[in-house]
Copies of this chain bind each other. A is one copy, B any other.
């Protein structure tokens, strides 16, 4: 069973907005055995929307359209769908009541919001409990087209609550299963060489993909077939072979963010964590606290950009800074100790480096980051040396800090 996603909006084409909806939709469809064949982003123009819809309806059974449903004039998806399906907009009392409920108290209702209660005649209107844009479900010759708002939060709610269950019910679907392995310690080509014999011998119905990401390689096995048990068994047998080859270098058997892996580990051990961050600027703390329930194991952080803060709040000695510099193994060791002491935690990570683009020297070029992780009396350090630009240097340092902490806690 195949689907196509069409995202509508000039802002996507001129690059003002990154399309994150499609990836989310792709994941969810996959879980119910629907494969996305194509994602197409187009402008808010009638002829382009008509062409894209027409092509998609010829190619696949399921067409999911997002965007172009706002109250403002630049949005024309609803009218264009009416044209394609030879129907017209009619007023829906039910949608109007929902809009009033959604806006209640927050925004005074005006003519533009009222216009959002106009829906295509002859389609099934699906309730949008969190927004004023309505959702339309069209069926033609066993093919389905659904038009949804482009606002991610609204799209996610209507997909989860209504559209995914309806699609699952309507279509008999093939089984697609993914398993992702997170691997550390390898550049991509070296890993590929190590896995070559195994990869060549993979059965037809199983595919392998490499997805490198700043110090981590995600290896994804995809199996497909008619029978869930059979696909699972095939994947499990390949997984066993892979584990034999890579052993401990596989640090997780699903595509889980490092901050979740660490969180689970801390909860299991009933211990707390903190961070002392210079060049990562609070981004490790932000990652750890992005997880719901992190207050159970995360106490706090000290972002120490200036040397003064390193000395005053993290107890780094002036002599260490003087003799070895802020970007040094000695400094991050004192920082990680300082974090555990000041924030009273069982473990901590610390970073200090030159994220760039400025600030490099011949001895410590841009991209140099010293990282430490501490747990009770044990401390491990790591020197990161590649320069891939400020934001990637920061993200990679965060990955490395959490990987070292994980090794230490294991």
A positions within 8 Å CB-CB of B = 10-20, 22-28, 30, 35-43, 48, 52, 70-74, 106-108, 110-113, 132, 151, 153, 178, 180, 187-190, 192-193, 199, 207-212, 218, 220, 222, 255, 275, 277, 279-286, 288-290, 292-295, 298-306, 308-309, 312-313, 342-344, 355-358, 386, 388-392, 394
Q: How far does the Cβ of A76 sit from chain B's closest Cβ, in whole Å?
A: 12
Is the Cβ of B285 less than 8 Å from the Cβ of A303? yes
Q: How far does the Cβ of A111 sit from chain B's closest Cβ, in whole Å?
A: 7
Is the Cβ of A42 less than 8 Å from the Cβ of B48? no
Extra 19 A-B pairs, beta carbons < 8 Å, given A10-B209, A38-B52: A12-B23, A14-B35, A14-B178, A15-B30, A18-B18, A38-B41, A38-B48, A70-B188, A71-B189, A72-B210, A151-B212, A279-B289, A282-B283, A282-B285, A282-B301, A289-B303, A295-B305, A301-B301, A302-B302
From A38, which residue of chain B is reached at the shortest CB distance?
B42
Q: How far does the Cβ of A56 sit from chain B's closest Cβ, in whole Å?
A: 11
Given the known interface contacts A22-B41, A38-B41, A282-B303, the answer about A11 and B292 at a Cβ–Cβ threshold of 8 Å is: no
| Residues in chain B near residue A113, CB distance under 8 A | 189
Alpha-carbon distance A392/B153, docked complex (angstroms): 9
| Residues in chain B near residue A277, CB distance under 8 A | 282
Is the Cβ of A208 less than 8 Å from the Cβ of B74? yes
| Residues in chain B near residue A199, CB distance under 8 A | 73
| Residues in chain B near residue A132, CB distance under 8 A | 189
Partner of A303, one of B13, B193, B280, B300: B300
Alpha-carbon distance A111/B70, docked complex (angstroms): 53
From A194, which residue of chain B is reached at the shortest CB distance?
B110
Alpha-carbon distance A218/B17, docked complex (angstroms): 11
Is the Cβ of B13 less than 8 Å from the Cβ of A209? no
Is the Cβ of B282 less than 8 Å from the Cβ of A70? no
Q: How far does the Cβ of A103 sit from chain B's closest Cβ, in whole Å?
A: 8
Alpha-carbon distance A211/B35, docked complex (angstroms): 30
From A342, which residue of chain B is reached at the shortest CB distance?
B313
Q: How far does the Cβ of A162 sit from chain B's closest Cβ, in whole Å?
A: 18
Is the Cβ of B285 less than 8 Å from the Cβ of A16? no
Most chain B CB within a 10 A radius of its CB, from A70, A284, A289, A309: A289
Most chain B CB within a 10 A radius of its CB, from A13, A71, A294: A13
Is the Cβ of A36 less than 8 Å from the Cβ of B11? no
Q: 8 smallest A-B Cβ distances: which pairs? A: A281-B289, A282-B285, A15-B26, A282-B282, A15-B27, A301-B303, A283-B286, A300-B309
Is the Cβ of B16 less than 8 Å from the Cβ of A22? no
| Residues in chain B near residue A220, CB distance under 8 A | 11, 16
Is the Cβ of B24 less than 8 Å from the Cβ of A15? yes
Alpha-carbon distance A110/B192, docked complex (angstroms): 10
